[in-house]
A and B are shown apart, each in its own frame.
Chain A
């Protein structure tokens, strides 16, 4: 039995614990024995993206040490998986830590990538009657090039009609601290995305990053726009 270690990013931990619970449920259902190390905090991405490399390195180093013995790591965020798989390798690290960074990057998977390509499961045997749009978060799409995996899982849901957004490859405007440093631009970008979602006339928008969904949901709620968003594992987990 595979024993993937869950990486539950800070946003999921404090704001969206249901996503974490759904991931446990889903992985168990798919025959895994998921592990959770409660010592985990953050991968270091906020400081890394803000240019504070020392702060980022210290937090990243802690993460690497904590997960170095794990056989496989499954991330509940495409963006945090990118940090671990792509950006750790680009840090100025000591040689020993650099080895760990390479090793840890190789055994970390975004969860839909893990389910489809590691477990080899493309159909989890659930059904849903309605129109669903998948939101491509930029990191998962352009850094990890994971585009088909979440779609595969959604398309195999019986009765589900997967709708492509006309601005599918457009950023939602979140971008981490960018969202609060340049709220006007971030909002303008989010509004374009919301308009695209409205044109698609879907029941729900599903994604692999709660942060992007938080941006879209927050913008929609403020405007009184009717929008439902859900992390993909939560969406699928709820159907089990």
Chain B
């Protein structure tokens, strides 16, 4: 694991008004999030993709896939926290790259009041071009899903250039990087 890169990523996320924590194992993920937000099971939604990724992980919250499709949007809009995976982290800009995924709809990183990304340390790239290339090459031509780059919480400077965090999207944004080598 390149520590310099991880340090840069962390400081960039902080610059953008987000937070970034390192978990030594997948077991630590939940305690980091719980400690941060102290939310109940009903208030937290996580994607089915997380369940696919970590079979040993327990997150306090509700698996989105267990909610009937016609109710999902309302539930997401009312949630205090949405937790997703990602497909890459960019150190240079403190960015999480999310590829649209069947078990992880884009609304989950958009509608809940807060958004936390869970990433693996080997998903960290120095710059966007490297990450984008990797993603592009992992899908057949013409089958690339939509991609969202997320760097910090939603923000505006439209009123006298003063920064206000939390406009139409998440008010808070965090990244938990699982560094198994830690």
Judge A-B direct contact (beta carbons within 8 Å).
no
Residues of chain B having any CB pair with chain A under 8 Å: none
